[in-house]
Amino acid sequence: MLLRATLTSPFGRKTRLAALRLGLADRIKVVDADPMNPDDPLRRDNPLGKIPALILNSGQAIFDSRVILEYLDHLAGGNKIIPADFDARIKALTMQALCDGIMDAAILVVYEGRHRPAEIHHKPWLDYQRGKIERGLAALAANPPDPKSFDVGTITAACALGYIDWRKQVDWRALQPSLVAWFDAFRANVPEFDKTAAPV
Ligand SMILES: N[C@@H](CCC(=O)N[C@@H](CS)C(=O)NCC(=O)O)C(=O)O
């Protein structure tokens, strides 16, 4: 299978981390993708031009990261990163949605700097996105999942914190100090997490 992604994408990291931890990484070749390049096959495989996209051996392309995690869970036998128990499943999926939303807002903050000239950066828009990040982090800190659990919720929470650590859209460690212990506990429990960090 091919995974169209970059090593810096937090959504790509969700899928690389899950594949590594589930013992599926050797079945997946990561191919660097450039969403901005109209000639990149990414747009053929995902009309939205977003990464990650997983190309199955049949040629079928699946996206987004949530669907890829569902697929990896299925390949690994099920009930591995998406709990079979209904209540646990809804909880994990909601945690994933919360942390995907934090990452969406964090990416928009980065894109404002990357894709728009400095003279038209719009502070209210950046504040609006940072508000989502900060409220999301507060919600995560108020009700953190078990850091010993490896599921779509904790995977996404860790990838969100790792991404904001790197890009510094907000100072999450100062805003939510209790999450530092959570993050450290997850990293200790899941050594594969640090192995999937963006190269420096
Ligand atoms: N909901 C998507 C979000 C993916 C996403 O936003 N990926 C970013 C890179 S981290 C991207 O491809 N951005 C390019 C664009 O939005 O055109 C997922 O879960 O995979």
Is there a single domain that holds both residue 49 and residue 135?
A: no
Is there a single domain that holds both residue 68 and residue 111?
A: no
What is the H or E stretch that residue 164 is in?
helix 152-167
64 lines ligand 1 (CB under 6 A): yes
- Give the range of the structural domain holding residue 60, as residue numbers without chain letter: 2-75
pLDDT score at 200: 82
Is there a single domain that holds both residue 102 and residue 30?
A: no
Mapped onto helix, strand or coil, the DSSP state of residue 57 is coil
d(CA 62, CA 60): 7
**139 Cα–ligand 1 center, Å:** 23
- For each of the chain's 200 residues, which pLDDT tens digit applies? 999 999 999 999 999 999 999 999 999 999 999 999 999 999 999 999 999 999 999 999 999 999 999 999 999 999 999 999 999 999 999 999 999 999 999 999 999 999 999 999 999 999 999 999 999 999 999 999 999 999 999 999 999 999 999 999 999 999 999 999 999 999 999 999 999 999 88
What is the H or E stretch that residue 184 is in?
helix 178-189
pLDDT score at 76: 98
Is there a single domain that holds both residue 53 and residue 112?
A: no
Is there a single domain that holds both residue 27 and residue 97?
A: no
Order across the sheet with 53-55: list the strands: 29-32, 2-5, 53-55, 61-62
Q: Which of 27, 52, 75 is the last residue of a domain?
A: 75
107 lines ligand 1 (CB under 6 A): yes
pLDDT score at 81: 98
Is there a single domain that holds both residue 106 and residue 188?
A: yes
Q: Is 132 exposed, middle or buried (0-12, 13-18, 19+ CB in 10 A)?
A: middle
CATH number for the domain spanning 111: value is 1.20.1050.10
**46 Cα–ligand 1 center, Å:** 11
pLDDT score at 37: 97
CATH number for the domain spanning 55: value is 3.40.30.10
Is there a single domain that holds both residue 17 and residue 66?
A: yes
Compute φ and ψ for 29, nearest 5 degrees. -100, 125
End-to-end CA distance of the chain: 26
3 lines ligand 1 (CB under 6 A): no
Beta bridge partners of 54: 3, 62
Is there a single domain that holds both residue 139 and residue 184?
A: yes
In total, how many domains does the chain have? Answer: 2
Mapped onto helix, strand or coil, the DSSP state of residue 38 is coil
pLDDT score at 47: 98
16 lines ligand 1 (CB under 6 A): no
Q: Which of 40, 75, 110 is the last residue of a domain?
A: 75
* Number of the ligand 1 atom closest to the C-alpha atom of 49: 17
Mutate to test the pocket of ligand 1, among 50, 68, 98, 115 (most ligand atoms within 8 A of CB): 50
Task: Specify if 121 maps to a domain.
Answer: yes
* Number of the ligand 1 atom closest to the C-alpha atom of 12: 10
d(CA 144, CA 178): 10
Contacts with 129 (C-beta within 8 Å, 6 or more apart), sequence order? 105, 106, 108, 109, 112, 169
* 8 Å CB contact between 153 and 96: yes
d(CA 125, CA 103): 16
Is there a single domain that holds both residue 142 and residue 90?
A: yes
